[in-house]
């Protein structure tokens, strides 16, 4: 009995494959000659992609989404800051050197500012704009008075996000207490 049931299964399989092959042949034989070719009614310009696949995203472009209205946008992934004015217009963008402790992604407000003070790493800093704390470590933007923007000691827990002096001046003028700060990935 085992032989007869396996013979039936084999016969059905052969019949099914033959039927599929026949249907595929018929479908292929009835394909119009112009299938897959551009039609005369659609211009090449209209069907071309809007942006080339090889186009690279502008590293200075404001991250989307990053909120609305006047705000400071800080990207953890690119270590870049944007000062965004009314109408979503970028007034300035610049690279920064992050501390060893990052803020969480989210929306904050500037909580305090200090004109000149020693940083937690011992460097004299100016134009400190703080916007949050992580485990009692203040997180904020600043500029070293000596102009350095070197990476901090990875063995220390530091929340200072360092900018050049010129960029620190721009941040100081833009981000007053209560100003919105948006942290993105």
Considering the domain architecture, whether residues 118 and 180 belong to the same structural domain is answered as yes
Q: Is residue 82 part of a domain?
A: yes
Considering the domain architecture, whether residues 25 and 75 belong to the same structural domain is answered as no
State the total domains in the chain. Answer: 2
| Residue 11 pLDDT greater than 70, yes or no | no
Q: What is the mean pLDDT of residues 131-155?
A: 95
Range of the domain at 3: 1-31
DSSP string, the chain: -HHHHHHHHHHHHHHHHHHHHHHHHHHHHT--TTTTSPPTTS-HHHHS-SS-TTPPPPTTSPPSS--SSSEEEEETTTTEEEEE-GGG-EEEEEE-B--SSPPPSEEEE--EEEEEEE-TTS-EEEEEEEEEEETTEEEEEEEETT---PPPPTTS---EEEE-HHHHHHHHHH--TT-EEEEE-
Question: How much is the pLDDT for 48?
Answer: 47
**pLDDT (tens digit, 9 = 90+) per residue, 70-83?**
999 999 999 999 99
Question: How much is the pLDDT for 58?
Answer: 81
Q: Is residue 65 part of a domain?
A: no
Question: How much is the pLDDT for 34?
Answer: 56
Considering the domain architecture, whether residues 178 and 92 belong to the same structural domain is answered as yes
pTM of the predicted protein model: 0.69
**pLDDT (tens digit, 9 = 90+) per residue, 103-142?**
999 999 999 999 999 998 889 999 999 999 999 999 999 9
Considering the domain architecture, whether residues 24 and 81 belong to the same structural domain is answered as no
Considering the domain architecture, whether residues 83 and 173 belong to the same structural domain is answered as yes
């Amino acid at each position: 009995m085992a032989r007869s049931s396996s013979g039936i299964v084999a016969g059905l399989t052969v019949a099914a494959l033959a039927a599929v092959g026949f249907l595929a042949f018929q479908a292929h034989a009835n394909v119009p000659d112009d299938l897959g070719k551009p039609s005369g009614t659609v211009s090449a310009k209209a069907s071309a992609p809007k942006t080339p696949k090889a186009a690279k995203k502008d590293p200075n472009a404001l991250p989307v989404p990053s909120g609305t209205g006047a705000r400071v946008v800080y990207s953890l992934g690119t270590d870049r800051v944007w000062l965004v004015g009314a109408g979503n217009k970028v007034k300035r963008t610049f690279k920064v050197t992050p501390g060893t402790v990052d803020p969480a992604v989210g929306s904050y407000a500037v909580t305090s500012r200090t004109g000149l003070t020693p940083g937690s790493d011992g460097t004299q800093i100016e134009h400190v704009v703080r916007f949050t704390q992580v485990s009692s470590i203040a997180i904020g933007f600043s500029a070293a008075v000596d102009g350095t923007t070197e990476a901090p000691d990875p063995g220390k827990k530091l929340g200072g996000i360092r900018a050049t002096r010129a960029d620190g001046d721009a941040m100081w003028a833009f981000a007053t207490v209560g100003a919105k700060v948006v942290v993105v990935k």
